[in-house]
Each structure stands twice: as structure tokens, then as C-alpha cells.
Amino acid sequence: MTPFFDTHAHLDYPEYEKDFPEVLARAQAAGITKMISIGTSLESSARAVRLAETFPAIYAAVGWHPSEALAAPADLRPALRGLARHPKVVAIGETGLDYYRLPSAQNGSAADDAHYKKRQAEIFAQQLEVAAELGLNAIIHQRAAFDDTLAQLQPFAGKVRGVFHCFGESVARLEQILALGSLVSYTGIVTFKNGQNIRDAVAATPLDKFMLETDCPYLAPVPYRGQRGEPAFVKEISETVAQVKGCSLDELSAATCRTAHDFFKNLA
């Protein structure tokens, strides 16, 4: 079994309440030796830390998702620092900007849009600041907000690296990310019939500049598309990515695991 890591999983979500031991057993059987449970709020981050304390193969990232920005405390930093000092916390996130569904698309006003974007930018800045302070890198979620996201990350270059998770942008944007010393990661979308643009991005990404993730419970790869995702499915993702890169599973395993160890502090 070739070992791989699931660098982005939402293991604290209620989708796993009923059969978590089986989910972990299937991950282990598929060779997925390490998993990072990603926080989307303080509560979710605390649950991720608790999972990391309980299960040796699980690590945690702590952060606040941009889509939940309106529910965030004015100053996220004190509580985030507290969580982030845990020895199994490997990164800050997920954090970033998401303009995909703005309030104006749901009967909101232009002022609502502006307020929502402002809150997202504020909590993103706070999280980058805590990451820099604690020497952690950041897991970046961006949707329909690439330029603004990059502009906020830019001043942190040399201090905080980002992984643009679920990367689905152009090769030109990939190059902008790599120029900042940041990375990308690829999900099950790489296996989708309509995922050719993602496979093109994979082909253009140097072997040492990306990681693999499921973003489970979302984005299950073929042949599980539409079902609940789980970390075991990194296996299917790795097979497609190895094919696209024209490398062996062993080479892909060595490269992506090395990249993860280098990017995620405390990933033992």
C-alpha cells in the first residue's frame, strides 16, 4: 500500500458521527496514514483539536471559514491563538475570501455585500497575523476572489505560506501562487469527466509544489461522485494525479508527503 495524506478533511462534521471508526479503518486500509481535520469556526476548530488528541493519525488546522465571516467575533485572534498553540495543530485555516454567493444574490443590498467582504477581509487578516506570529502556514479557501486573496497574502510572503486548497484556477494564477512561495492542493474534482481544466493545472504544477486532499465530506472522486466523501478516497485521487503527472504512485507519495511535512508544522 502506497502511503498518502489527506491534507484537508472536515472530520468534525456531523456526516461522520455515526460511523467514524469505520471511516478511519477504511482510510488506514487505503494507505491514508495521516489526515488533517480543518476548522471552519472556533467550535469546529476545537472539535478538530479534540479529534487530533484522540486519534494519532489525525492532526488539526484551526481557523474561520470566510463564508461564516458574519458569525465571527470582532477579534478572532485571542481564541485562535489559544487553539493554535496545541502541539497537534499544524496550520491556520481554513481562511481566505469567498465572493461566490454574495448577499445581493439573495435579496441583500450592495451595502450588505460590502459589509460581508469587509468582515471576510478582517478575519482573513487576523488569521494571517496569528499564523505569522506562531510560525504556522495557512490553508487558503478562495472562490471568485483570487486577486483580493493574493493581495492580502502578498505582504506575508517570506513569513506565511499558503496552500490554495481545492485549486481550480488557471496556470497563470498557479504561477502567481508559486511566485509567493505558496502551494496548491487537489481534490477529487481531478477525476471528474468535466475536470480537464484541473488536470491541466496538475500537469503544470511541479511535483514538489502540491498536495492531495479530499475536502471530505464534499467532492468525492469518481467512482464515488455524489456520495459522502472520506479520507480513503485520496487513493482514487492519487491514481488519477499519478497518471496525469506520468509518475509512479511511489514517486507521487514521496513528493506529496515530503511537501506536507515541509509545509505543516508539527506534522510528525
Residues 139, 92: contact at Cβ < 8 Å?
yes
- CB nearer Zn ion, residue 195 or residue 229: 229
CA distances from 103 to 57, 59, 68, 122 (A): 39, 34, 12, 18
x/- track of binding to Zn ion for residues 125-164 (CB under 5 A): ----------------------------------------
- CB nearer Zn ion, residue 66 or residue 195: 66
Report residue 103: phi and psi, to 5°: -55, -35
- Closest approach, Cβ 213 to Zn ion, in A, equals 8
- Closest approach, Cβ 215 to Zn ion, in A, equals 5
- Closest approach, Cβ 94 to Zn ion, in A, equals 5
- Single-letter amino acid, residue 1: M
Taking alpha carbons only, the member of 10, 85, 14, 74 closest to residue 40 is 10
Tell me the H-state helices in 135-246. Answer: 146-153, 171-179, 196-204, 234-245
- CB nearer Zn ion, residue 98 or residue 249: 98
CA distance 29 to 175: 36
- Closest approach, Cβ 139 to Zn ion, in A, equals 8
- CB nearer Zn ion, residue 98 or residue 215: 215
Q: Please state the separation of Cα 94 from the chain's center in Å.
A: 6
Residues 12, 214: contact at Cβ < 8 Å?
no
Count interface residues toward Zn ion (CB under 5 A): 1
- CB nearer Zn ion, residue 129 or residue 215: 215
Taking alpha carbons only, the member of 148, 245, 74, 250 closest to residue 140 is 148
- Single-letter amino acid, residue 86: H
Helix or strand holding residue 33 (H, E): strand 32-38
Strand 210-212 relative to strand 183-186, pairing: parallel
Site residues (CB under 5 A) for Zn ion, limited to 53-112: none
- CB nearer Zn ion, residue 61 or residue 255: 61
- Closest approach, Cβ 91 to Zn ion, in A, equals 12
- CB nearer Zn ion, residue 95 or residue 240: 95
Residue nearest to Zn ion (CB): 215
- Closest approach, Cβ 84 to Zn ion, in A, equals 18
Site residues (CB under 5 A) for Zn ion, limited to 186-215: 215
Site residues (CB under 5 A) for Zn ion, limited to 208-247: 215
- Closest approach, Cβ 38 to Zn ion, in A, equals 5
- List contacts with Zn ion (CB under 5 A): 215
